[in-house]
Amino acid sequence: MTRVAAPEDSPPDPTEAFAALLTEPGQRLLDLVRDVAPAEELAVATRLRRDHPAGLVAAALGQARLRQRAVAKFGAEAGAMYFTPDGLEQATRTSVAAWRAGRLAAAGARRVADLCCGVGGDAIALARAGLDVLAVDRSPLTCAVARANASALGLADRIKVRLGSVEDVGLAGYDTVFVDPARRGGRGRVFDPEAYSPPLSWALATAADRPLAALKIAPGVPHEAIPAAAEAEWVSHRGEVKEAVLWFGGDAAPGRRRATLLPAGDSLAGTPEPAPTGAPGRYLYEPDGAVIRAGLVGAVATELAGRLLDPSIAYVTTDQPRRTPFAVGYELTDVLPFHLKRLRALLRERDVGTLTVKKRGSAISPEELLRRVKPSGTGSATVFLTRVAGAPSMLIGHPLAG
């Protein structure tokens, strides 16, 4: 016999469950569970359900868990904000959002439409940069969370949240658009810009109607997919590439590529250029990931008066040590053809027990190499598995001070 679900069996509406957290009982529960560790959740939930609705307890514990995870992106303010699991995963780190918002403000933006606003992280940065923000999203829950975040951080007067499809929203009166399309589908990340939601072609058409625009894209986007009218910027935070943005108007130069490194804010701009190749010198430089994605390794090689080990690999070598914010330097002690037995003997001879493995252009994984050489000792070293003039090679060295 088929059982017909009773109304009480229906899952709670997520927007209603979130609204309950904003009530006085919900806020008290959030305070109670603020510091609950994952291992304590079951016991805490069992105790709290004696006096509180089970759905409200579950919502409070889930929100506390998200806030704890959000500290990595939002710092101490995460404890006052609200999130959804997908919204937190897709949210921009505060320092990155602030960099982008500052660039828009410096270019003259005053009223910006944040399309596909998510939980409001970008809208918050834009408002703090002095802009009036229209934040649009098609999810009722996401809009409710974005609205709550604007209120919690005292920015409700600058951020207007609107529920709806970004393709249908009226943009009259807004001089700037920022579009952060969804780049995930049912099967994970989406790499085709036309499979974004909304598609990149729609975002480009929307940008063309405004004096200023910034469109967020996947950092791995092929350069040939970047429109000629855009300046493309890749942004990294502490060496990890976080986003790529297409810029239109303001100080953006069509066809230019830019790499920006946060938190320092060092920025390198230019167009991809070839670099000379040559034999390894005494020093090796590993460009930041944003530099590599922007195709500006040649510019860093020029700055360092260096050369590439191989024309297709982003390692720069020099004969003299030099300083640059755009690459990490190493002093080399050995340059050898790739040979595991020889590497194992050399590490034993040098008493190396802590081995950092970096690779570009090598088939062997760092995990496999460590398993096969089994370093044991008191010293440390870095090994680069790469190609020198096309030949598989291993370069051993130590990071330069500073």
Cis, bond preceding 276 (omega within 30 deg of 0): no
The CA radius of gyration of the chain, in Å to the nearest whole number, is 25
CB atoms within 10 A of CB 98: 19
The type of residue at 24 is: E
According to the CATH classification, is domain 88-268 in 3.40.50.150? yes
> Is the confidence at residue 3, as pLDDT, over 60?
no
- Taking CA atoms, 229 is separated from 44, 207, 255, in Å, by 56, 11, 6
pLDDT digits (tens, 9 = 90+) for 303-355: 999 999 999 999 999 999 999 999 999 999 999 999 999 999 999 999 999 99
How far apart are the C-alpha atoms of 74 and 355, rounded to whole Å? 33
Query: For residue 192, what pLDDT is reported?
Result: 75
H, E, C per residue of 288-355: CHHHHHCCCHHHHHHHCCCEEEECCEEEEEECCCCCCCCEEEEEEEEEEECCHHHHHHHHHHHCEEEE
Q: Are 95 and 205 in contact (CB under 8 A)?
A: no
Query: For residue 198, what pLDDT is reported?
Result: 85
Q: What is the pTM of this model?
A: 0.91
Q: What is the DSSP letter of 78?
A: G
> Is the confidence at residue 9, as pLDDT, over 70?
no
Query: For residue 42, what pLDDT is reported?
Result: 92
Q: 108's torsion region: left (phi>0), alpha (psi -120 to 50) or beta?
A: left
Over residues 379-383, mean pLDDT: 97
DSSP code per residue over 64-77: HHHHHHHHHHHGGG
pLDDT grade for 195, boundaries at 50, 70 and 90: confident
Sign of CA dihedral 32, 35, 40, 42: positive
- Annotate 291-314 with b (16+ C-beta within 10 A) or e (fewer): bbbbbbbbbbbbbbebbbbbeebb
Mean pLDDT (the chain) is 93
